[in-house]
Structure 1
Amino acid sequence: MKAHFPGRAYCLVADLTVIDVSVSDEQAKMLATLGLAASIVYAHCVIEDSRGRFLSGDWVKSSYGVSFTPGCLFETQNTVYVLMRGGRRLGADLEFILSLR
């Protein structure tokens, strides 16, 4: 992990969903200019967080992604999420995303 993403925080997660957020064309263009995609990871179970931000067993909701390797990695500007098990993918609107806790 450290060899491929030196200096980057990583978070091992399970029981997760990659969510493609429904955004307007204008919002999608704005995100693209920032190098972001309208997708996030929501995980019910943190296994390990390299910077100790989350405890084992906590849930986590990421910020927008910058890259995604299905079944393997989801990268945001700050963190590389290692997708361990129980993954699925779905679409949702922004209001739903904001309600996740």
Structure 2
Amino acid sequence: MTDLNPLAELFPGISLPMPGSSMSDEEALRYARKRFPHGSYCLVRNWLWLDLDAPTEILQSLAVSKRQPAIIYADTVVYDSERRWDVGDFVRTSPLHHFADDFLFHTLNTAYLLLGPGQRKRTSIENVACII
């Protein structure tokens, strides 16, 4: 397992451990292909759930579009069904639409399968904007 501490240190504040799926990469890929045969999905490891502190206007805008002020920053893409990212790339998601089964982070366009343990932190929207 990759140490998430350097990743978490990108953002100030306390990290809380958070479980992801214990499936292997191969099991997760089979699961995703069966569960999302016509949808976009991305398998990630070494991930950080970021709860965003944002101005009221942004929070209201997210609420109107049925999204929540949370994103995933993952250090390791395992597989992306749309080939937007290569294996091993990092990814920053768009805001959370809904979370299911303790490891499926859904945005409006993609289901992200959170594999292995991760961390959860609160951070400012300005800190997130600094991620390339």
Aligned mates of 2:70, 2:46 — CA distance in 1: 17
Deviation at 1:70, TM superposition (A): 6.9
1:50 aligns with one of 48, 62, 81: 81
Aligned mates of 1:71, 1:59 — CA distance in 2: 21
Deviation at 1:51, TM superposition (A): 1.1
Q: CA RMSD in A?
A: 1.6
**Aligned structure 1 segments of 4 or more residues deviating by more than 3 angstroms:** 2-6
Question: Where in structure 2 are the equivalents of 1:5-24 lying within 5 Å?
Answer: 5-24=36-55
Change (3 A) 1:16 1:71: farther
Deviation at 1:23, TM superposition (A): 1.3
Amino acid of the structure 1 residue aligned with 2:113: V
- Larger mean CA deviation between 46-55 and 2-11 belongs to 2-11
- Residue 60 of structure 1: aligned partner: 91
Return the TM-score normalized by structure 2. Answer: 0.70
- Residue 80 of structure 1: aligned partner: 111
Q: Kindly name which structure, 1 or 2, has the bigger radius of gyration based on alpha carbons.
A: 2
Deviation at 1:9, TM superposition (A): 0.4
2:126 aligns with one of 75, 85, 95: 95
- Residue 25 of structure 1: aligned partner: 56
Change (3 A) 1:60 1:86: same
Segments of 5+ residues of structure 1 without an aligned counterpart are none
Q: Percent identity?
A: 32
- Larger relative strand fraction: 1
- Residue 35 of structure 1: aligned partner: 66
Segments of 5+ residues of structure 2 without an aligned counterpart are 1-31
Deviation at 1:71, TM superposition (A): 4.1
Return the TM-score normalized by structure 1. Answer: 0.90
Aligned mates of 2:101, 2:58 — CA distance in 1: 24
